[in-house]
């Protein structure tokens, strides 16, 4: 199996990334479009996600969701779509003998969507319920609210789902205009990974995608630090909660600035929250036994990023939980990190990366996102090499630059009777 895929251009200039290999038992096609919340204006916030919801709802050749779904099911396809801040993706994975049909169906979805009015209204209601689900789910609600505090009134601080007001405002003409301007050959590329023949699939792609639009696509809105609020954090309330939900976030740089430092930040994140032996899991579950769920992770975009810690705890232990987390962060800054702990944290990342290479769809996503964000490919072995090279001083550099009060944002979600909770001073004193 070779290390990286190769990129080709179809006759209409649509870029295609191919990684053919007989080592896979499946084949996947992933379409990535530079379309997401970063490409929206405030009035149409949520439209990227709305468009994504409509893409399996009918084409000129299969005019209903039932028709299209039946065709996908006939080939035993695993298919779905997703929307992020910087891209939207559509994928189909199936067995090699059905792959040409999968490629045809993907081309029909991208080249010939009809966005039927009746399906648009159904999906509008589905997304409104998705928003309701986020509002009713404490972990999702507090996350969205803290992002507003972190980035403010600009795309980076908006919800990918949009708002009630926007979803009710967006009409079919907005969907059609957005599709026409964003879904173009210079804003889209295809990633194909699996058991197929390169020359044959290129010829097929040329035919299937010959009518894909060639308009010039708009650029994303760049993140502005000046628009970020000064507010450090906030207490949010909801009725009838049985526990407090805590989100502590530290702003980082984006991928364009971090470059290879992202690997050190990844090892730090692993050390803090990946696995049963990670620092935050150990103190909150094993030492104190005060929480059920713990999540520590990073979200990195081209122009901004953050590391966050999210957990829930008993209402009487909010202050002590926050204080203990902050104390542990300070402790890691000051103490010498053992080589065993660092190696364990790196091993978790390495294992996760290598498991990616076992799936045609995961590998398509791996190479596709690399190309979208960096305009080049990095092999899993390159990532492993970079992770292995991380040492204590690299981790301490990320700790000292980003895990500090200046970069802090926080939110705590509690029942109404705790609305006067005072915790801001804990962050000032401890961090």
End-to-end, the C-alpha distance of the chain in Å comes to 48
C-beta separation of 166 from 45 below 8 A: yes
Q: What is the pLDDT of residue 216?
A: 87
**Residue 237's beta-bridge partner residues?**
414
Long-range CB contacts for residues 169-177, cutoff 8 Å, separation at least 24? 169/43, 170/44, 170/46, 170/47, 170/50, 170/124, 172/115, 172/117, 172/120, 174/44, 174/47, 175/47, 175/50, 175/51, 175/54, 175/115, 175/120, 176/115
The pLDDT value recorded for residue 154 is 97
The predicted pLDDT at position 344 comes to 97
State which H helix or E strand residue 348 sits in.
helix 339-356
Strand order from edge to edge, sheet including 78-83: 6-9, 15-20, 188-194, 27-33, 88-94, 78-83
pTM for this model (two decimals): 0.94
In degrees, to the nearest 5, what angle opens at C-alpha 59 toward C-alphas 57 and 65?
Answer: 30
Neighbour count for residue 405 (Cβ, 10 Å):
12
Kind and range of the H or E element at 335?
none
**Which residues of the chain have a pLDDT value below 50?**
1
> What backbone torsions phi and psi does residue 312 show, to the nearest 5 degrees?
-125, 155
State the chain's mean pLDDT as an integer: 94
């Amino acid at each position: 199996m070779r290390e990286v895929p190769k990129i080709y251009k179809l006759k209409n200039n649509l870029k295609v990334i191919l990684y053919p290999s007989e080592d896979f038992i499946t084949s996947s096609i992933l379409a990535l479009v530079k379309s997401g919340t970063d490409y929206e204006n405030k009035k149409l916030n949520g439209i990227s996600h709305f468009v994504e919801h409509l893409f399996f709802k009918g084409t000129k050749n299969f005019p209903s969701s039932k028709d299209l779904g039946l065709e996908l099911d006939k080939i035993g396809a695993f298919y779905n779509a997703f929307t992020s801040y910087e891209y939207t993706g559509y994928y189909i994975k199936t067995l090699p003998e059905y792959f040409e049909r999968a490629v045809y169906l993907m081309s029909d979805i991208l080249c010939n969507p009809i966005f039927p009015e009746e399906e648009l209204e159904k999906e509008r209601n589905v997304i409104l319920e998705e928003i309701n689900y986020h509002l009713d789910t404490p972990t999702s609600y507090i996350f969205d609210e803290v992002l507003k505090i972190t980035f403010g009134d600009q795309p980076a601080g908006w919800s990918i789902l949009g708002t009630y007001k926007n979803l009710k405002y967006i009409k079919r003409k907005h969907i059609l205009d957005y599709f026409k301007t964003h879904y173009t050959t210079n804003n889209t590329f295809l990633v194909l990974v699996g058991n197929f023949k390169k020359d044959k699939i290129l010829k097929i792609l040329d035919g299937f995608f010959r009518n894909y639009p060639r308009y010039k696509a708009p650029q994303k809105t760049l993140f502005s630090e000046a628009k970020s609020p000064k507010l450090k954090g906030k207490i949010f309330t909801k009725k009838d909660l049985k526990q407090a939900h805590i989100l502590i976030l530290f702003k980082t740089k984006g991928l364009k600035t971090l470059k290879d430092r992202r690997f050190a930040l990844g090892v730090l994140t692993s050390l803090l929250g990946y696995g049963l032996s990670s620092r935050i899991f150990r103190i909150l579950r094993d030492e104190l036994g005060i929480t059920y769920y713990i999540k520590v992770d990073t979200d990195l975009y081209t122009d901004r990023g953050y590391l966050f810690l999210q957990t829930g705890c008993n209402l009487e232990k909010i202050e002590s939980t926050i204080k203990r987390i902050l104390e542990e962060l300070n402790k890691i800054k000051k103490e010498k990190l053992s080589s065993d702990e660092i190696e364990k944290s790196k091993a978790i990342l390495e294992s996760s990366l290598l498991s990616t290479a076992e799936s045609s769809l995961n590998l398509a996503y791996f190479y596709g996102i690399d190309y979208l964000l960096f305009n080049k490919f990095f092999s899993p072995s390159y990532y492993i090499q970079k992770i292995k090279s991380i040492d204590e001083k690299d981790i301490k550099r990320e700790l000292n630059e980003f895990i500090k009060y200046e970069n802090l944002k926080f939110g705590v979600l509690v029942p109404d009777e705790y609305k006067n909770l005072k915790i801001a001073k804990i962050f000032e004193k401890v961090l």
